[in-house]
Amino acid sequence: MDFNALFSDFGGYTITGLTVGAIYALVALGYTLVYGVLRLINFAHSEVFIAGAFAAIWGWAALGLDRDSVASGFGSIMLYLLVGALIAAVASAGTATVIERVAYRPLRKRNAPPLAFLITAIGASIAIAEAFGIYTRRLPVGAPTVVKNDVLFTVFGAEVTVVQLLIIGSALAMMVALDLFINRSRIGRGIRAVAQDQNTAALMGINKDRIILVVFIIGGVMAGVAGMLYDIRIGTLTYSVGFLLGLKAFTAAVLGGIGNLRGALLGGLLLGLVENYASALFGANWKDLVAFVVLVVLLMFRPTGLLGESLGRARA
């Protein structure tokens, strides 16, 4: 273990970990929302993320930006960010809607066993990923430089770039907005009611199918924005990248307490930190292994995750 490597740039590893963790957290919100309402692990959610990531790149291409383009001017950059986020959110929300309508709703109508939902989720995930693979000929797709990765300021010797601040700030802002929406809006109360007891909620006049669709759409919007932010940070996208990232986002949801919105954020940020600290201590090849080992060890002592409160019991 190379403690010198970790402590020599502890601030840098922390900022990078929070940046990666913020993307995990946004994707994890979709997993935790669906599980909180349906008790369903939506493994196709990783491809919802991929749909948004590709849509953002293609949207920028429609505006004349290719992989070698560098955006300039504050107004232009803000326009590209807003357009990219909007296109990504719509594409991911649309993909999530199709998955819910085509794959899951017929199973719910037939009272299918949980195993059928799990197999369907895995099948939908593979089918969507392969569709993107065929369309892109399994080649990486480059994203334009919408935001330059310039150093903005320094904190305790660690440089914070514009991209890092954008990703962390966006994730926190969207998490706060979602938390307020779930806890204070009429639709949010409906979501919590369905999460607590679907049959009782239906007796009270709540359309559970509509609520479930809204949950998938919200999760899709979060994943779509995460996909756009991933494009900005990495700059290259492949059709298969959603598999491992989706697993880590699901791990983040479990780590914080699946079904708990704030737990998804906490789990995502912690997982990002653990990964980066592990890469410094053991080398980059070990970061995935350490992240999942930490999850297993935590669940041995706290099976419900760090926070462990279900969506149905969230406070009003």
Q: Are 56 and 228 in contact (CB under 8 A)?
A: yes
pLDDT tens-digit series, residues 273-307: 999 999 999 988 888 898 889 888 888 888 889 98
Statement: residue 147 has pLDDT above 60: yes
CA–CA gap between residue 178 and residue 174 (Å, rounded): 6
- Arithmetic mean of pLDDT over the chain: 93
Residue 309: the pLDDT is 63
List the structure tokens of 147.
């935001």
Spatial distance between the Cα atoms of 233 and 314, rounded to a whole number of angstroms: 33
Q: What is the CATH number of domain 3-301?
A: 1.10.3470
Q: Which residue has the tokens 């907005």?
A: 177
Instruction: Annotate 112-136 with b (16+ C-beta within 10 A) or e (fewer).
Output: eeeeebeebbeebbeebbeebeeee
Domain boundaries, the chain: 3-301
190-200 tens-digit pLDDT: 999 999 988 89
- Percent of the chain past pLDDT 90, that is, above it, reads 80
Residue type, 186: R
* CA dist 260 → 20, 29, 132, 192, 302 (Å): 20, 9, 31, 11, 15
pTM of the model: 0.94
pLDDT at 310: 65
pLDDT, tens only, 5-17 = 888 889 999 999 9
Q: Is 212 helix (H, G, I), strand (E, B) or coil?
A: helix
Instruction: Let me know if 196 is exposed, middle or buried by CB neighbors in 10 A (0-12, 13-18, 19+).
Output: middle
The confidence score (pLDDT) of residue 174 equals: 96
Q: Write the pLDDT tens digit of every residue in 17-52.
A: 999 999 999 999 999 999 999 989 999 999 999 999
Rounded to 10 degrees, the C-alpha dihedral 77/78/83/86 comes to: 140
